[in-house]
Structures are given as structure tokens and as C-alpha cells.
């Protein structure tokens, strides 16, 4: 199995956003969802991937965490 940065998609009360993505990013999200689902499974829809990816990105951004801790 491929080791991806996203493992488990938590279920949380969502906040609805409407965004526009470049077609290439959407295509890559679809491909990521297919890999994450594994062989023979239903792919994870791109909309379910965006929030965990952003959350992971912000959690691993040292400069963001450093600046955020100064304001909290």
C-alpha cells in the first residue's frame, strides 16, 4: 500500500465553502482519492480531501504554527 500523508478522514460538522480550483488540481485530487481508497473501492471525492489536506498543511507549517502561537 502506498504511504500517503492523509490516512483517516475524520467526520466533523462541515462549514460550506464554494471555491474554484484549477482543472489540474481537481484532476490530482481525483487521482489522490482513488489511491487513498485502494484497489476496487469507491474513490474518495475531492471535496472530502480538501479540508484534511489543508489541515495537514497548516499543522506541518512551522512558520504558521510559530506565528499563530504568538497571537493566541
**If you write DSSP's letter for every residue of 32-44 in order, what string do you get?**
HHHHHH-TTSPPP
pLDDT per position as a tens digit, 12-58: 787 888 999 999 999 999 999 999 998 878 999 999 999 899 988 98
Residue whose cell numbers read 473501492? 41
pLDDT for res 65: 82
pLDDT for res 20: 95
Cβ(46)–Cβ(54) below 8 Å: no
| Long-range contacts of 28-37, Cβ-Cβ distance < 8 Å, separation of 24 or more | 32/4, 32/6, 35/2, 35/4, 36/4, 36/6
Cβ(29)–Cβ(50) below 8 Å: yes
Q: Is the pTM of this model over 0.85?
A: no
Amino acid at each position: 500500500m502506498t504511504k500517503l500523508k492523509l490516512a483517516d478522514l475524520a467526520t466533523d460538522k462541515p462549514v460550506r465553502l464554494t471555491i474554484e480550483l484549477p482543472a489540474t488540481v481537481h484532476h490530482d485530487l481525483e487521482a489522490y482519492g482513488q489511491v487513498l481508497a485502494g484497489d476496487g473501492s469507491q474513490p474518495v471525492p475531492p471535496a472530502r480531501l480538501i479540508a484534511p489536506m489543508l489541515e495537514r498543511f497548516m499543522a506541518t507549517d512551522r512558520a504558521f504554527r510559530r506565528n499563530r502561537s504568538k497571537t493566541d
